[in-house]
Amino acid sequence: MKKIEHIGIAVIDLEEASIVYEKLFGSAAYKREEVVNEGVKTAFFKNGPNKIELLEATNAESPIAKFIAKKGEGIHHIAFEVDDIVSEIARLKKEGFIVLNETPKKGADNKLVVFLHPKSTNGVLIELCQEIY
């Protein structure tokens, strides 16, 4: 793993939350996107080298909707950048991690993504991201 790629924050209202983060960082989101297959709308903010992804559910079956219903708004996941997501999946499975989607899928911000189950990562949902070239 190369670095923390971003921190994902689940929000009820993307527009209201974006206003808070615009004030916090002194700049607007650099990218907004809907990931239909995940049932989520996103807004990405940069602060120096760091990125924050705000996530709003677009339907009640979305993982974000389920997360908010159970835990409320807040940090949803930490994403790490990797060079080769397929080899990382294989390596982490050998190490005993539970992989939620063994086949990488297209996520937001031009990335292939896979998630590790919080049961195998001390309660933290981990996302692995590889840039799509």
pLDDT tens per residue across span 48-98: 999 999 999 999 999 999 999 999 999 999 999 999 999 999 999 999 999
pTM: predicted TM-score of the whole model, two decimal places: 0.93
What DSSP designation does 60 have?
Answer: T
Q: Are 40 and 56 in contact (CB under 8 A)?
A: yes
* Rounded-to-10 torsion of CA 86, 89, 91, 95: -170
End-to-end alpha-carbon separation of the chain, Å?
Answer: 18
Using one digit for the tens of pLDDT, what is the confidence trace for 25-47?
999 999 999 999 999 999 999 99
Q: Which of 46, 59, 63 is nearest to 6 (CA)?
A: 46
Map tokens 């949803």 to a residue.
76
Helix (H) or strand (E) holding 31: strand 31-35
What DSSP designation does 98 have?
Answer: P
